[in-house]
Structures are given as structure tokens and as C-alpha cells.
């Protein structure tokens, strides 16, 4: 059985993943193409494997979209693979790590003071 869809078998594919430290993410992937869904699902796995749990929490809470995560990943944004991992496009989500890093709307890394 393949991944579920948001509609009655015709909508976008839906993520239904559980990550320790984040919880369950059950959201639309934003695509109805299987290959693209698999790429987006792999991005969530990559975020978990690189300990970017704050980014996953922000995605789960709706503070960032899957498209913003894809864009940041394509730009090799350090927040997606760093110790602290925080990301936002319209607002700053401070992380709870020792280095206190945040991403601004331009998707550039800056230190919070």
C-alpha cells in the first residue's frame, strides 16, 4: 500500500510520520506526484537525521511550509543541518540551543543577542 492522499484518493499525498522529540506530522505534502512526494518525505528524514528537530517542530506547527523547507535545502541553508536548526520566512523562531541561531526572511543565518 502506498502513501495516503488528502482527498478521496485523488488529492495530494500526505505525510504521516512520527519523529521522536517532535511527534506525529500528518500534513499534506503539497504534491500529487509520487516521485516529488518521495523527495519531500526524504527531506523530512534528512532533517530528523541531522537533528534539526526545531525545524521539524516549526513545520508541524505550520510556521514554515514544505516549499520553504525545500527552498532552504536547495540553498544549503546551515539551519537545516546544524545543531540548533531553526527556520522561518516571515518571522524569527529562536532556537533553544547554546548558539541561539535563527533564520530571517532572507533565509540567511544570524546570531540572536
| DSSP-derived secondary structure letter, 111 | E
**What is the tens place of the pLDDT at every residue in 72-100?**
888 766 656 544 444 444 445 555 554 44
**What is the tens place of the pLDDT at every residue in 63-75?**
888 998 888 888 7
Residue from 25, 91, 17 nearest 60 by CA? 25
Q: Where are the domains of the chain?
A: 14-111
Residue 99: predicted pLDDT: 43
Q: How far apart are CA 48 and CA 8, in angstroms?
A: 30
Q: How far is CA 79 from CA 25, 33, 94, in A?
A: 20, 27, 11
Amino acid at each position: 500500500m502506498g502513501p495516503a492522499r488528502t482527498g478521496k484518493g485523488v488529492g495530494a499525498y500526505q505525510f504521516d510520520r512520527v519523529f521522536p522529540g517532535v511527534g506525529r506530522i500528518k500534513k499534506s505534502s503539497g504534491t500529487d506526484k509520487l516521485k516529488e512526494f518521495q523527495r519531500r518525505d526524504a527531506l523530512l528524514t534528512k532533517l530528523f537525521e541531522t537533528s534539526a528537530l526545531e525545524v521539524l517542530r516549526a513545520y508541524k506547527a505550520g510556521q514554515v511550509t514544505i516549499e520553504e523547507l525545500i527552498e532552504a535545502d536547495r540553498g544549503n541553508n546551515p539551519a537545516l543541518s546544524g545543531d540548533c536548526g531553526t527556520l522561518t520566512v516571515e518571522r524569527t523562531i529562536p532556537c533553544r540551543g547554546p548558539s541561539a541561531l535563527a533564520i530571517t526572511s532572507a533565509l540567511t543565518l544570524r546570531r540572536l543577542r
